[in-house]
A and B are shown apart, each in its own frame.
Chain A
Amino acid sequence: MDTILQQLVNGLSLGSIYALLALGYTMVYGIIKLINFAHGDIYMVGAFWGYYVINQLHFNFWLALISAMIFCGLFGVLVEWLAYRPLRNSPRIAALITAIGVSFLLENGMAYLFTSNVRSFPQVMHVVRYHLGGVSISNIQLLILVVSIVLMVLLQLIVRKTKMGKAMRAVSVDPEAAQLIGINIDHTISFTFALGSALAGAAGVMIGLYYNSIDPLMGMTPGIKAFVAAVLGGIGLIPGAAIGGFVIGLLETIMQALGFSAFKDAAVYAVLIIILLIKPAGILGKKIKEKV
């Protein structure tokens, strides 16, 4: 029983990272119908930013986290402005291919600039383990879980309660009508990219701290898994992405706990195939109509 609870904790802390990444995918998709495959690499950029500010500028963890969110937010806006905005009126496939191109550019550009070696992330936080009965959880696992949930709630508040959030929802429903009533589409899209990328940046710093190892290709697999999580939850839906992320994290953990560790990635991708065949709209697909 203890082992099962312990595995649940492991699964949730892994899942919260996928959830944070999946939110970025889902928001961008919701608003411009683009699968931003470079999203996983923004997460990598966030981890590297954290690495440099902690090592060079001796930031503490919170400062590193917030600065990484700001930096990645701006970086996401820049990517959108350089790579996706010129293709706004092109076929969707052109934008999709561009996204893959941006992803390769970031991965290999970082490998070129900083070598592809694995780096150890500076340990700014001392690991403390709490034991509750037979279950043990580290302060970093708790931190990841809590920060992720706080960020998700904040995001939901921004989307639901602010004027910008209303604009985002409007653009996602009908961009032309939104423009007619005076919403600046470019600003709204930039803002969406900034939000999604900021979450990815936060995930990057937290994962760096948790696993203590970062490299230019670290965003590849989590990026794809987060994409699966977003589809699983219902792409375009914010609560769906969060649920999908946790489900994928738990699924991976269960696969390993049952002794199928070699198939854990395969299981995640199998879920993608199954969901696309059975319920392409995702778990939350039909309940909520509003999309962001």
Chain B
Amino acid sequence: MHRKKFFAALGTIALASTLVLAGCSSSAGSSGNKQTGNTIKLGGNFELSGAAAQYGQAMERGTKLAVEQINKDGGVKVGSKKLKIKLIQKDNKSDNSTVSSVATDLTTKSKVNAVVGPITSGAGLAAIPNYTKAKVPFITPGGTQDSLTLQKSGKVQPYVFRSCFEDSYQGKALAKYAYNTLNAKKVAILADKSTDYAQGLTKAFKAEYKGKVVTTEYYQSGDKDFNTLLTKMKNKGFDAIFVPGYYSEAGLIIKQAREMGISTPILGADGFADPKLAKIAGTNNTTNVYYTTHFDTLANTDAKATNYMKAFKAKYNEDAGTFDALAYDATYMIKDAIESEKSADSTKIADGLAKIKNFKGVTGTITMDKNHNPQKQVIITKVDNGKEVSATAVK
């Protein structure tokens, strides 16, 4: 019995190592997808149906609008030639195994030079091996997980980029905003212990915040009763509460805190950005609430953003939103990379994306850091009585 188990284990190890070796050899053989003919092929690995369809469809619209505008303006300048972009898009059904098969299909069959999508961090992780094997870079407009662009060893993933900022970046921005703008010298933190997202935010906030964190309490996703924790925190004398977590719990925290008479500002990250937050908390309770977002129609005063909002409205007869704006920027970042490298070969695009500096996008001015995370403005939205009242950019 034991012997059998031992051999089975040995077999698994052997199989695993062959797979790893096979992976290595094939990736060494590929040299990426060269640009051929008069077009640059842009892949779209979009969540057009399934759980993330709402984000995926926004991504499709932003990308399509960008491609249309680029082609209308003559195309992408590669050396002395101007090339048009051809968008080849596929629905990945918000399913991680389909995401990776779409990645393979786009890179090996359609021979695309770069890809936009998928949009979620989980799907991004599923797609990385296939993109990397084909040496085709992709930009995720919504994958904010810190570890997404990094390999296990801590080195950067060479073909993974994003146009959104990462989770911990929001934590830093919120720390600055709380201290400098809200003048909160003491904060209390009520954090979700069960998600990497909230833990990353908490860590980043604490590292950046100059004031004093008077207390840190933790809850679990799915908790409904925060009265005990809030009662405990109440007399600690803080100027603001930071709640790293998602809207389903944050809504309850806001409700219970306000009902208890805690009226200090409540800050959160993009996990707050859902209309259900105010519904769960109650509109009157959702006052003096701040959260970070990537793009906000109230905040953008520069011409680039205004033009984008107009163009989007003209084409789709709907207001622009966060994820279409990020996808739009992702497409233009690829154009920028091609033009600066004077080549649309996939490996060159990856080089160009890594070097992006002071790129003027609709979601802010982007400079790529060494971990392929864009350094750019964070928008902080203020909500009063359940309604967004203002939005400011924090750099």
Binding site for B on A (CB under 8 A): 3, 6-7, 10-11, 13-14, 117-118, 120, 123, 127, 129, 136, 138, 207, 211-213, 217-218, 221, 252-253, 256-257, 259, 261-262, 265
Cβ contact of A7, chosen from B218, B231, B281, cutoff 8 A: B231
Give bound CA distance, A253 to B227, whole Å. Answer: 9
Residues of B within 8 A of A256 (CB): 228-229, 232
CB of B181 closer than 8 Å to a CB of A? no
CB of A138 within 8 A of CB of B259, answer yes
Can you list 23 pairs linking A and B with CB atoms under 8 Å apart?
A3-B234, A6-B231, A7-B228, A7-B231, A13-B227, A136-B261, A211-B252, A212-B252, A212-B255, A213-B248, A213-B251, A217-B222, A252-B225, A256-B228, A256-B232, A257-B228, A257-B231, A259-B217, A261-B193, A261-B219, A261-B229, A262-B193, A262-B218
| Contact (A261, B217) CB under 8 Å given A3-B232, A213-B248, A256-B232 | yes
Residues of A within 8 A of B248 (CB): 118, 213
CB of B225 within 8 A of CB of A136, answer no
Binding site for A on B (CB under 8 A): 193, 217-220, 222, 224-225, 227-229, 231-232, 234-235, 248, 251-252, 255, 259-261, 276, 279-282
CB of A129 within 8 A of CB of B259, answer yes
Cβ contact of A213, chosen from B193, B218, B280, cutoff 8 A: B280
Nearest chain B CB to A217 CB, angstrom units: 8
Give bound CA distance, A127 to B218, whole Å. Answer: 26
CB of B231 within 8 A of CB of A10, answer yes
Residues of B within 8 A of A11 (CB): 228
Q: How many A-B residue pairs have CB under 8 A?
A: 70
Residues of B within 8 A of A221 (CB): 222
CB of A262 within 8 A of CB of B220, answer yes
Nearest chain A CB to B193 CB, angstrom units: 5
| Contact (A3, B231) CB under 8 Å given A212-B282, A261-B217, A261-B219 | yes
Instruction: Other than A261-B217, A262-B193, give 9 A-B pairs with Cβ distance below 8 A.
Output: A3-B231, A3-B232, A14-B225, A117-B276, A118-B276, A127-B259, A213-B251, A257-B228, A261-B218
Main secondary structure of the interface of A (DSSP, over half): helix
CB of B259 within 8 A of CB of A10, answer no
CB of B228 within 8 A of CB of A10, answer yes
Name which residue of chain A comes closest to B227, CB basis: A10
| Contact (A10, B225) CB under 8 Å given A3-B231, A212-B280, A212-B282 | yes
Residues of B within 8 A of A265 (CB): 220
Name which residue of chain B comes closest to A220, CB basis: B222
Residues of B within 8 A of A217 (CB): 222
CB of A253 within 8 A of CB of B259, answer no
Residues of B within 8 A of A120 (CB): 251, 276, 279-280
Give bound CA distance, A199 to B308, whole Å. Answer: 56
Give bound CA distance, A221 to B225, whole Å. Answer: 13
Residues of A within 8 A of B276 (CB): 117-118, 120
Nearest chain B CB to A70 CB, angstrom units: 25
Residues of A within 8 A of B281 (CB): 212
Nearest chain B CB to A208 CB, angstrom units: 10
Nearest chain B CB to A134 CB, angstrom units: 10
Give bound CA distance, A13 to B217, whole Å. Answer: 21
CB of A213 within 8 A of CB of B232, answer no
Give bound CA distance, A55 to B239, whole Å. Answer: 38
Residue from B219, B224, B235 whose CB has the most chain A CB atoms within 10 Å: B224
Residues of B within 8 A of A259 (CB): 217
Name which residue of chain A comes closest to B216, CB basis: A259
Cβ contact of B280, chosen from A118, A207, A253, cutoff 8 A: A118
CB of B231 within 8 A of CB of A129, answer no
Residues of A within 8 A of B232 (CB): 3, 7, 256-257
CB of A3 within 8 A of CB of B235, answer yes
Residues of A within 8 A of B259 (CB): 127, 129, 138
Give bound CA distance, A117 to B251, whole Å. Answer: 14
Name which residue of chain B comes closest to A258, CB basis: B232
Residues of A within 8 A of B224 (CB): 207, 211, 213, 218
Nearest chain B CB to A289 CB, angstrom units: 36
Residues of A within 8 A of B222 (CB): 217, 221
CB of A253 within 8 A of CB of B261, answer no
Give bound CA distance, A127 to B284, whole Å. Answer: 11
